Structure 1
Amino acid sequence: MIWSSRTSHIVAPRRSVPAGTRIYAIGDIHGRLDLLDSVLARIDKDTDVHPPVSNAVRIFLGDYIDRGPDSKRVLDRLVNHCVTHPTVCLMGNHEAFLRQFLINPDVLTVWRNCGGLDTLLSFGLSPKIETNAQDQRELASELDRILPSSHREFLGGLKQYFICGDFFFVHAGVRPGICLTKQSEDDLLWIREDFLSSEDNFGKVVVHGHTPVLEPDVRANRINIDTGAYATGRLTCLVLENDKIRFI
């Protein structure tokens, strides 16, 4: 489902990141390696044309896997990218599914409806369209056996949120009325309507994904950059520098 959005005519108040810092924030990838590679190439070109003063950080907002065809290779690319570039990778609800599946195979009953079978296929597994409890245990055991240690470390090191200057980066959003650093993991990964409909000042501008929109949704209290990559072919990258925002 793609939610409606308000876009270019809604301008956030001037907020800024620290002097000398440039942020590249990338929305939900969902197994689209082709779009990830395109965004990384655009970032490289942007840094060549507009060299950052000192520090350029790439922030990925989670949901790297599921739905699209190349979840494993997306994880491969991100693992390598974290080695070569200053990078922050956040946890998405889909990564949480994968981690839970390794511990509790019954999670596949829900995860399959969110694209989990596409991820298993990308690892070379052959899940049945309909699986029973034994099938789920066998799939979890096999995934646990073949999951690269680099992927395991990557998934285990994902952050729930990241703060830079006047911006709070998170996968899904925050619960209004609760301190940003006291949010529950469930809300950080899953919240929708209570957050999306809120006009509260959260203390910082929340940059998030999780809920697909047709265009980046820039509001006074939040910026949604999940443009439904797996379905629309559009992976959005937000650039923050000083008190300016732009998209590449």
Structure 2
Amino acid sequence: MIGNWLARRKSSNAGPTASVPPGTVVWTVGDIHGRLDLLRPLLSAILEDFGRSAGARKVLIFLGDYVDRGPESKGVIDLLCRLADGGGVETIFLRGNHEDRMAAFLEDPGIGPTWCDYGGREALRSYGVTAPADRADKEAWAAASASLNAALSDRHRVFLRDLQYSVSVGDYFFVHAGARPGVPLDQQSRHDMMWIRQSFLDDGRTFEKIVVHGHTPADDIQSDHRRLGLDTGAYATGVLTAVRLEAAEREALQTAMTGSGVELWRSEVETIRSAKRSAR
């Protein structure tokens, strides 16, 4: 039983000025990285909240990086596909750099060693494929690519193919990695939207909208006048983060692995902390 955590929401006297359109409730979820154990309860809480939003437009946006690093990439995509096929909620799945590399490996086995350096080995294992031990063994990597192609269902293939690069709702621009300062949001390159880091994080210039992103793990939600970062490093920290947007309100919900199991944490989005910027 999740409980009516949302009913205990506090009002914020200094809330953000950005907003989503009237009659719209948006939930957005940060980098999952194979943590099906954290995604299930988080998604249950989100759907329970949507159930209390009768008559509203219900939008659920995932910021990418569903696969790699954590143990259950395949299970995560299974769950997201069932969610998309179930109806009732407008689901939008964005393309992260890890999905981009996974899709590329299906066509080009040569990128396998680099992909596996950043978590692809765990994704392969979730599909029943063992990554080669020898980085230079081209035949073994070609065989692994063929095995992944054989293991990948048509539904998973369509999921990877149809991932979007960005979406805007109201005053928010949702994207995996961020955006290049000085470039209009509707002219951002696909590469930047999946991969940008320092050029985005360290530049104080604002955009036409608040940029909501993942990609760069941090100890907590990153919130300031120009961006909202939701990657809390779930694969390593055991904390998966989502944010609810309604009118000009923002509220966070996190699932966290603790000594007693998975717990739900609720908080308001109000502070920014230093990001960890080394992960790829």
Q: What is the TM-score with the length of structure 1 in the denominator?
A: 0.92
Q: In 2, Cα distance between the equivalents of 1:219 and 1:12? A: 11
The match for 2:187 among 182, 190, 193 is 182
- Structure 1 regions of 5+ residues with no counterpart? 1-10
Residue 150 of structure 2: aligned partner: 145
Matches within 5 A, 1:1-248: 13-48=16-51, 50-84=52-86, 85-131=89-135, 132-248=137-253
Q: In 1, Cα distance between the equivalents of 2:180 and 2:39? A: 29
1:12–1:221 Cα contact (<8 Å) kept: no
2:68–2:98 Cα contact (<8 Å) kept: yes
2:239 is paired with a residue whose SS is coil
1:23–1:56 Cα contact (<8 Å) kept: yes
Residue 269 of structure 2: aligned partner: none
2:106–2:148 Cα contact (<8 Å) kept: yes
| Deviation of 1:52 (Å) | 4.9
Q: In 1, Cα distance between the equivalents of 2:48 and 2:237? A: 23
Q: In 1, Cα distance between the equivalents of 2:38 and 2:134? A: 30
Q: What is the TM-score with the length of structure 2 in the denominator?
A: 0.82
Pair 228,13 (structure 1): closer, same or farther in 2 beyond 3 Å: same
2:16–2:248 Cα contact (<8 Å) kept: no
Q: Deviations over 1:151-185 (max 9, x none)?
A: 00011000000000000000000000001111111
1:162 is paired with a residue whose SS is strand
Q: Deviations over 1:48-101 (max 9, x none)?
A: 4x4254111110000000000000010111111111232000000000001110
- Structure 2 regions of 5+ residues with no counterpart? 1-13, 254-280
1:160–1:188 Cα contact (<8 Å) kept: yes
Q: In 2, Cα distance between the equivalents of 1:74 and 1:216? A: 22
1:22 is paired with a residue whose SS is strand
Larger RCO of the pair (alpha carbons < 8 Å, separation 6+): 1
Q: In 1, Cα distance between the equivalents of 2:54 and 2:183? A: 34
Q: In 2, Cα distance between the equivalents of 1:120 and 1:153? A: 18
Q: In 1, Cα distance between the equivalents of 2:47 and 2:131? A: 38
1:21–1:53 Cα contact (<8 Å) kept: no
Greater strand proportion: 2
Aligned alpha-carbon RMSD (Å): 1.2
Residue 6 of structure 1: aligned partner: none
Aligned length: 237
1:141 is paired with a residue whose SS is helix
